[in-house]
């Protein structure tokens, strides 16, 4: 029998954060790094808990070179080969993830790369994290690499977070079904959970089991990152907001209508991505990603500093001395209007 859940679920745009009295004197007093231990891995990690998404426009070695300066992680896309890693300068094993799908070919590639580099992170990434084959693949990877920090997803509900943490033996679950700016999963399938509510539910489930989550997708501005941390996300992953810069692949193009400078950005389930990496879009599937032209943003360093500054400012408004404390200090208020766009 079909069921209807009547509770209203929320996205980042549906709330603001209530300001609270604070004794902090400066944004500079905020600790934007966190230190983690993990459910299964023996590794510890300390850094800024932001992650560049493993899309081929953002999860690149060039983006890594920028983000690593800020102790931010880059999830490298899953189309790099072992030879690509061989020709890189020394990579900090704390600050990048090796991404993989769940096929036999993907597993062989993962093994080959880990023979070349000493990366601490493995990101097992498929669009539909509800498949039992994902859990089985995660178990296989954990057995082969017991000390690695293993990330898996994507899911958006409590029960699958618990399944991946307990039976898949992953350390971190990636949360988000369809919130990304280049994702059309909700349009094509009708499936999804509003991202703020997904983060609240999934973080509660994960933390009860000693696990962690990544809020993946739906970020449109620095304030959305603060809302994700306020909802108790451990890490926040971004694609579109880390795209469109000098360090992202692709030429700067000029919009014919406006004359503004733009760069291309597309989802990894888009027709463009399928044709680029697999040669064609298979007839049995539809494109669940968009190809976009987004405003050219210049140097990625400037965007990083803007986001870190926004997080620090949020913390001073709510009396949180660190990102770690944001969940304890956040009260959300539901809104119907956020910004004055009179001059837009």
pLDDT at 281 (0 to 100) = 45
pLDDT at 25 (0 to 100) = 85
Burial of 275 per CB tally in 10 Å (0-12, 13-18, 19+): exposed
Question: Could you give the 3-state DSSP secondary structure of residue 325?
Answer: helix
Q: Catalytic residues, which ones? A: 183, 185
Specify if 1 maps to a domain.
no
Specify if 234 maps to a domain.
yes
Specify if 12 maps to a domain.
no
pLDDT at 289 (0 to 100) = 55
**Average pLDDT for runs of 10 along the chain of length 344:** 91 97 89 98 98 94 98 96 91 97 97 96 96 98 98 97 98 95 84 96 98 97 98 97 93 85 68 52 52 88 98 97 97 94 84
pLDDT at 149 (0 to 100) = 98
pLDDT at 212 (0 to 100) = 98
Specify if 5 maps to a domain.
no
Specify if 9 maps to a domain.
no
Question: CA 226: distance to chain centroid?
Answer: 14
Specify if 340 maps to a domain.
no
User: At 164, which CATH number?
Assistant: 3.20.20.70
Q: How many domains does the chain have?
A: 1
Model pLDDT for residues 89-145, shown as the tens digit of each residue: 889 999 999 999 999 999 999 999 999 999 999 999 999 999 999 999 999 999 999
pLDDT at 26 (0 to 100) = 87
Residue 148 belongs to domain spanning:
22-334
Going by the DSSP 8-state scheme, the letter that residue 247 receives in this structure is: T
Whether this prediction's pTM lies above 0.85 is answered by yes
Specify if 2 maps to a domain.
no
Specify if 13 maps to a domain.
no
214 DSSP β-pair partners:
174, 235
């Amino acid at each position: 029998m079909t069921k209807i859940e009547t509770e209203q679920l929320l996205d980042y745009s549906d709330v603001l954060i209530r300001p609270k009295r604070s004794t902090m004197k400066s944004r500079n007093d905020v600790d934007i790094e966190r230190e983690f231990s993990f459910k299964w891995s023996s590794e510890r990690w300390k850094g800024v808990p932001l992650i560049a998404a493993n899309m081929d426009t953002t999860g690149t070695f060039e983006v890594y070179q920028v983000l690593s300066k800020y102790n931010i992680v880059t999830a490298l896309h899953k189309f790099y080969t072992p030879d690509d890693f061989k020709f890189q300068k020394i990579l900090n094993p704390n600050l990048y993830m090796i991404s993989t799908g769940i096929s036999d070919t993907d597993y062989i590639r993962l093994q080959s790369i880990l023979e070349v580099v000493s990366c601490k992170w493995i990101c097992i990434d498929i669009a539909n994290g509800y498949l039992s084959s994902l859990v089985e693949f995660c178990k296989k990877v954990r057995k082969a690499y017991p000390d690695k920090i293993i990330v898996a997803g994507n899911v958006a509900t409590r029960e699958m977070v618990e399944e991946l943490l307990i039976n898949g033996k992953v350390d971190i679950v990636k949360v988000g079904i369809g919130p990304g700016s280049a994702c059309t999963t909700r349009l094509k399938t009708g499936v999804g959970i509003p991202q703020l509510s997904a983060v609240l539910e999934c973080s509660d489930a994960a933390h009860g089991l000693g696990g962690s989550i990544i809020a993946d997708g739906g970020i449109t501005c620095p304030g959305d990152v603060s809302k994700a941390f306020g909802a108790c996300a451990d890490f926040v992953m971004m694609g579109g907001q880390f795209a469109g810069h000098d360090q992202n692949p692709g030429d700067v193009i000029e919009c014919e209508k406006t004359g503004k400078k733009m760069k291309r950005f597309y989802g990894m389930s888009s027709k463009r991505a399928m044709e680029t990496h697999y040669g064609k879009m298979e007839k049995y599937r539809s494109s669940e990603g968009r190809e976009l032209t987004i405003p050219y943003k210049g140097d990625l360093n400037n965007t990083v500093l803007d986001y870190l500054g926004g997080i620090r400012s949020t913390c001073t408004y709510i009396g949180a001395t660190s990102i770690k404390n944001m969940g304890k200090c956040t009260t959300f208020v539901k809104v119907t209007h956020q910004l004055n766009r009179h001059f837009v």
